[in-house]
Amino acid sequence: MAALPVPLLALLLLLLAGCGGPGAAGQRRKEMVLSEKVNQLMEWASKRSVIRMNGDKFRRLVKAPPRNYSVIVMFTALQPHRQCVVCKQADEEYQILANSWRYSSAFTNKIFFAMIDFDEGSDVFQMLNMNSAPTFINFPAKGKPKRGDTYELQVRGFAAEQLARWVADRTDVHIRVIRPPNYAGPLMLGLLLAVIGGLVYLRGSNLDFLYNKTGWAFAALCFVLAMTSGQMWNHIRGPPYAHKNPHTGQVNYIHGSSQAQFVAETHIVLLFNGGVTLGMVLLHEAATSDMDVGKRKIMCIAGIGLVVLFFSWLLSVFRSKYHGYPYSFLMS
């Protein structure tokens, strides 16, 4: 077979390189589909930081390839008839996180935030064998979600800061959470200063109330009870108030793990600690007061009863969280 002239051979090679064959055509189609998906998501994200999805949008934009972006999806049930209080609380924190990312100078198309409500995408819940809400899942840019891509809500809580740390761990996207201004703290401080200023003005030169040991002791006791019950942990972690079992409908107010707690749990512990403290105060007064013997006996019996009862309840809460703890008192 005669050899082709050099110019003609070069022309054929250029034509082949330009056409690229079937593989290049397929690659161009993928790039076009990917570009359309990214543009669609960017358009929606420009209007709402959290993109609401149904089953069709989820399958097309999250599950189906190609995809070079991660999607954080919150599976929830926000309709009033679902009565999911935790879902509403988690949604508020999720919106704060998504808004912090949307209005950040570092905002890119590397990650998007989406939401699927059960009443709008029940088929997605069935597809993923999901039977509880709220649930946060990261769908990475490559591959399927791994175990760590499901957020541990019961352990970490749903505070926006905790969600941001998880997002950074799974996607390498660091989000600085910016919360809307909260004027409750300054208002309470202003109210407290106004009350103190009013008392000083009304009492004039008589400032003996500032040296009232009982008042200061009561204030200090309230502060100690609040801190020892776990209020600061709640402020940092933002746990749910309680947990409702989706299968049985039973509401749990005590978390079953020693690594987490519910807000209701701290209120219960605060009440129990307060009961023990009141019992100790009654015992002290019964031993040191100048009242008649009959009243002192009543105070002593009441004090012993409060200490025994509330300490027993405290110990039962401790046993329910630290499984295997061998000791109990009155109640198991």
**pLDDT value at residue 182:** 66
Reported as a single tens digit per residue, the pLDDT across 278-297 is: 999 899 888 888 888 888 88
Q: Going from the N-terminus, what domains does the chain have, and what CATH number goes with each? A: 31-171 (3.40.30.10), 206-321 (no CATH)
Whole-angstrom CA distances from 242 to 226, 227, 239 are 19, 20, 8
Three-state helix/strand/coil letters over 224-272: HHHHHCCHHHHHHHCCCCCEECCCCCCEECCCCCCCCCCHHHHHHHHHH
Average of per-residue pLDDT across 3-31: 60
232-243 exposure pattern, b = at least 16 Cβ within 10 A, e = fewer: ebbeebbbbbbb
Reported as a single tens digit per residue, the pLDDT across 108-133 is: 999 999 999 999 999 999 999 988 88
* Mean of the per-residue pLDDT values of the chain: 83
Average of per-residue pLDDT across 162-191: 85
Reported as a single tens digit per residue, the pLDDT across 48-103 is: 999 999 999 999 999 988 889 999 999 999 988 887 878 888 899 999 999 999 98
Res. 1 pLDDT band, cuts 50 70 90: very low
Average of per-residue pLDDT across 20-31: 74
Q: What predicted TM-score, i.e. pTM, was given to this entire model?
A: 0.58
- Cis previous bond, 22, omega within 30: no
pLDDT exceeds 50 at position 211 = yes
Q: Which residue has the higher pLDDT, 231 or 43?
A: 43
- Cis previous bond, 140, omega within 30: no
Angle formed at CA 252 by CA 250 and CA 258, multiple of 5 degrees? 145
Whole-angstrom CA distances from 179 to 50, 72, 117, 201 are 16, 20, 24, 38
Percent of the chain's residues with pLDDT above 90? 31
Average of per-residue pLDDT across 247-272: 82
Res. 137 pLDDT band, cuts 50 70 90: very high
The answer to whether 240 and 86 have CB atoms below 8 angstroms apart is yes
